[in-house]
């Protein structure tokens, strides 16, 4: 994930550095790589977008309940989410909620 941020604008890299204090970075496990491959085999995304599938696989295998992403093409997509979760179910993993960051922010409004 650090590699993806390396080419981003400076303000994005700075935000990433700030968020590291609140995050746990994990390396892809064998389970995550296998789940990524299952997404690819099922046609959820093509090999070209394997990194996007890996993001979902890591979040799933690490037990995340929610994955928030700005990637509306291959991750946060109303047609893709049920496909990711179908592959999860076939491989013994629970469903994962996939949404945009704005959907998980609490603005303190009632």
Residue pair 96/67 in contact (Cβ under 8 Å)? The answer is yes
Query: Which DSSP letter does residue 88 get?
Result: H
Of 7 and 33, the structure prediction assigns the larger pLDDT to: 33
Q: Is 9 helix (H, G, I), strand (E, B) or coil?
A: coil
Q: What is the pTM of this model?
A: 0.84
- Over residues 69-98, the pLDDT tens digits come to 888 999 999 999 999 999 999 999 999 999
Q: Please state which of the ranges 1-5, 20-24, 92-96 shows the lowest mean pLDDT.
A: 1-5
């Amino acid at each position: 994930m650090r590699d993806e941020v390396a080419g981003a604008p400076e303000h994005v890299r700075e935000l990433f550095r700030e968020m590291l204090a609140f995050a746990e970075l994990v390396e892809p496990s064998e389970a995550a790589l296998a789940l990524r491959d299952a997404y690819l085999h099922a046609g959820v995304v093509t090999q070209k977008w394997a990194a996007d599938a890996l993001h979902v696989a890591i979040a799933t295998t690490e037990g995340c309940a929610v994955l928030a992403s700005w990637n509306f093409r291959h991750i946060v997509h109303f047609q893709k989410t049920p496909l990711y979760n179908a592959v999860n179910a076939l491989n013994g993993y629970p469903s994962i909620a996939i949404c945009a960051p704005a959907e998980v922010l609490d603005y303190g409004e009632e």
